[in-house]
Structure 1
Amino acid sequence: MTQINSSYSGDLRCASLHAPSGSALETDAPSDNQGKGERFSPTDLVATALSTCILTIMGIVAERHDWDLKGCTARVEKVMTSEAPRKIAQLEVWIELPAHLDEKARKVLRKAAENCPVKLSLEGAMAMQLHWS
């Protein structure tokens, strides 16, 4: 179990503290939903959780095989519904693996990414697509 403590700061902002590490972050409502859009929005954090989970899980697998994953990137795009209720409609992730990895490594890393805990948790709740290069 991990504890995260959040509080409402006013002006559609929240502050959260990751209890085990003491790391803090702030959220802001997006500019298209009455906020200033000066911080990650809560739904931005969902998108960020997907892309960073993919990178982290691939990193775990890469370390296990002694593959250098430095420079691997993931870009996520979040699309919100246009009708009520407001929610995430789609997440698309573009993953760029380092050029030096062979096809076997790429296949293993793709499988790992498809099974990251965040992706598995979100499946069925919204459309998701991973693009590889």
Structure 2
Amino acid sequence: MTQPDADPDAVTVTETGVGKFQVEVLAGGAVFLADEPPEVGGLGSGPNPYDLLASALGACTAMTLRLYAERKGWPLRRATVRVLHSRTPAAKDCFAREVTLEGALDDEQRRRLMEIADRCPVHKTLEGGSEIITVMAAPPDLAALERSGLGHMQAMEEACAD
């Protein structure tokens, strides 16, 4: 289902045609499913969009902490970030982030790492908001690809690649 001409700098999300909400996500060379839980009509075959957003915050926080600790030569053995998201119609979205720092860190190092957690790029994006630009793109001309032989030939070449 993955598109052969996918932009490596973009995240591409395509409906799978399986279930009501299931989509295939191509991001950073990884492919995974996103979906909604069964109680709202999905198959539960992957994280929902808000789980993905919370995952982005948690992943960025842990990675930023790791980078900072390594640059400082601090003994951070492991960072674990747990993120909870709540959304109510009357209030702003809220992300509650719980950071666990393992290792022989002193109080000052722990305090500084918690400050750094608030400086991770995804935290700053969520905190500041973003501009979203949406444009309509034309669907690929699959018939032209088949007529040119690119679709089937490319599939055969990929199947025969070592």
Same fold (TM over 0.5): yes
- Pairing partner for 2:93 from 67, 89, 92: 89
What's the CA shift for 1:124? 5.4
What one-letter code is carried by the residue in structure 1 that aligns with 2:77? K
- Aligned residues with identical type, % of pairs: 30
1:40 paired with 2:37, answer no
Tell me how far apart the structure 2 counterparts of residues 104 and 116 of structure 1 sit (CA, whole Å). 19
- Deviates further, 58-67 or 33-42: 33-42
What one-letter code is carried by the residue in structure 1 that aligns with 2:9? T
Q: Which residue does 1:2 correspond to in 2?
A: 9
Task: Output the TM-score relative to the length of structure 1.
Answer: 0.78
Tell me how far apart the structure 2 counterparts of residues 106 and 123 of structure 1 sit (CA, whole Å). 22
Aligned length: 120
What one-letter code is carried by the residue in structure 1 that aligns with 2:102? P
Q: Which residue does 1:129 correspond to in 2?
A: none
Structure 1: 5+ residue stretches without partners = 126-133
Which structure has more relative contact order (CA 8 Å, sep 6+)? It is: 1
Higher helix share: 2
What one-letter code is carried by the residue in structure 2 that aligns with 1:107? R
Q: Which residue does 1:60 correspond to in 2?
A: 67
1:112 paired with 2:116, answer yes
The Cα RMSD (Å) is: 2.4
1:100 paired with 2:104, answer yes
**After the TM superposition, which parts of structure 1 deviate over 6 Å for at least 4 consecutive aligned residues?**
none
Q: In 1, are the aligned partners of 2:82 and 2:97 still within 8 Å (CA)?
A: yes
Higher strand share: 1
Task: Output the TM-score relative to the length of structure 2.
Answer: 0.65
SS class of match (1:94): strand
Tell me how far apart the structure 1 counterparts of residues 92 and 26 of structure 2 sit (CA, whole Å). 24
